[in-house]
């Protein structure tokens, strides 16, 4: 019987499913006592993670937390991205192509998440950003060591970038190590060579500290793959996975540029760069040039 409330519901009475109306009973088997057991918060170290947001604005500005969380979560995704790229590179080195492709597939999903995150930061208006910008001082996303590690792993090597981290011996050493190692693409080319593809020897013994540049003979190799996909399916699929990764990376770059232009216009960046113009020049960089050049030949 109804209790006379306007919504017709009865307070605290059974809803016929073992619980009260609009309430779910906690099942008897659910763990409640964590005095001697590992909890969700303990496993994820949430005490550390959620205490890492320390706004500097004084007086406090509402939108600074958004700016901090946006960039901290990006760094977490970059950490996972590096984990997957390193694994894919190592798997190619041992000719384990199938699991390497699995890693690359996950990389693309991480990239999509990173790109989608820009839509949250885009809610920051120029007026709101102006309130927190002074507290950023000279800090800038340009100084993200993990982002540079991703670029180095994908082949965009630049020794000058290592100098940005001269103040941090550990970070500088890690980036310098990647600078001198083969990239993911370099390992793919070495894999192709071991499988009998005519990869020019000069590409297998080059200076790893330099970015890879387009090679006509390598375009010929990929042209033969794309001319008969069924005969080269694993390699063909890997080529397309790499193109997907680069395409996703360029989408991230472009969305970054759009958000910066929307929020600060053409101001100089906090780290001293030209801002939008600097970001726009990055769109001309490519990791896997032959995989784009070969498309001109397909069907000719």
Q: Which residues of the chain have pLDDT under 70?
A: 1-20
pLDDT in the model for residue 276:
84
Residue 152 lies in a domain: yes
- Is 191 annotated for ligand binding? no
Residue 32 lies in a domain: no
pLDDT in the model for residue 272:
78
- Is 67 annotated for ligand binding? yes
User: With left for phi above 0 and alpha for psi between -120 and 50, is residue 19 left, alpha or beta?
Assistant: beta
Residue 8 lies in a domain: no
pLDDT in the model for residue 253:
92
pLDDT in the model for residue 11:
53
- Is 23 annotated for ligand binding? no
- Is 69 annotated for ligand binding? yes
Smallest CA-to-CA distance from 70 within 78, 59, 60, 81 is with 78
In the 8-state DSSP scheme, what is residue 230? G
pLDDT in the model for residue 8:
47
Residue 105 lies in a domain: yes
pLDDT in the model for residue 283:
81
Q: How many domains does the chain have?
A: 1
pLDDT in the model for residue 265:
87
3-state helix, strand, coil in the chain (%, to 5): 60, 0, 40
Q: What is the CATH number of the domain that holds 261?
A: 1.20.58.480
Cβ within 8 Å of residue 237, ≥6 positions away: 101
Smallest CA-to-CA distance from 259 within 144, 116, 156, 143 is with 116
DSSP, residue by residue, 63-128: THHHHHHHHHHHHHHHHHHHHHHHHHHHHHHTT-HHHHHHHHHHHHHHHHHHHHHHHHHTTS-HHH
pLDDT in the model for residue 10:
47
Judge contact between 253 and 283, C-beta under 8 A. yes
Residue 36 lies in a domain: no
C-alpha 194/C-alpha 36 separation (Å) is: 53
Provide the token pair at 260.
Answer: 């910066």
- Is 280 annotated for ligand binding? no
- What are the CA-CA distances from residue 119 to residues 164, 189, 246, 254, 259 (Å)? 29, 36, 20, 12, 8
- Is 43 annotated for ligand binding? no
- Is 270 annotated for ligand binding? yes
pLDDT in the model for residue 64:
96
Residue 214 lies in a domain: yes
Burial (Cβ within 10 Å: 0-12, 13-18, ≥19) of residue 59 = exposed
Domain of residue 286, residue span: 60-265+272-297
Global pTM reads 0.89
pLDDT in the model for residue 98:
97
Residue 206 lies in a domain: yes
Residue 52 lies in a domain: no
- Is 245 annotated for ligand binding? no
- Is 30 annotated for ligand binding? no
pLDDT in the model for residue 18:
56
Phi, psi dihedrals of residue 14, rounded to the nearest 5°: -65, 140
């Amino acid at each position: 019987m109804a209790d006379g409330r306007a919504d017709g519901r009865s307070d605290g009475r059974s809803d016929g499913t073992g619980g009260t109306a609009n309430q779910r009973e906690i099942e008897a088997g659910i763990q409640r006592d964590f005095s001697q057991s590992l909890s969700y918060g303990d496993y994820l170290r949430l005490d550390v993670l959620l205490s890492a947001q320390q706004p500097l604005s004084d007086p406090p500005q509402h939108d600074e937390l958004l700016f901090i969380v946006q960039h901290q979560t990006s760094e977490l995704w970059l950490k996972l991205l590096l984990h997957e790229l390193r694994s894919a590179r190592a798997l190619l080195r041992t000719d384990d192509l199938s699991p390497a492709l699995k890693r690359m597939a996950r990389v693309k999903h991480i990239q999509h998440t990173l790109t989608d995150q820009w839509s949250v930061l885009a809610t920051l208006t120029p007026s709101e950003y102006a309130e927190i910008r002074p507290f950023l001082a000279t800090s800038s996303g340009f100084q993200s060591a993990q982002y540079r590690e991703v670029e180095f792993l994908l082949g965009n090597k630049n020794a000058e970038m290592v100098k940005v981290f001269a103040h941090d011996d550990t970070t500088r050493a890690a980036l310098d190590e990647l600078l001198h190692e083969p990239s993911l693409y370099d390992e793919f080319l070495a894999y192709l060579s071991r499988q009998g593809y005519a990869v020019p020897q000069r590409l297998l013994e080059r200076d790893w500290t330099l970015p890879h540049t387009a090679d006509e003979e390598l375009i010929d190799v990929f042209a033969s793959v794309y001319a008969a996909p069924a005969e080269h399916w694993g390699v063909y699929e890997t080529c397309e996975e790499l193109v997907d990764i680069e395409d996703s990376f360029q989408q991230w770059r472009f969305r970054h540029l759009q958000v910066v232009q929307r929020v600060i216009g053409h101001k100089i960046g906090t780290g001293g760069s030209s801002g939008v113009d600097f970001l726009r020049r990055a769109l001309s960089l490519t990791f896997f040039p032959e995989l784009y050049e070969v498309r001109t030949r397909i069907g000719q």
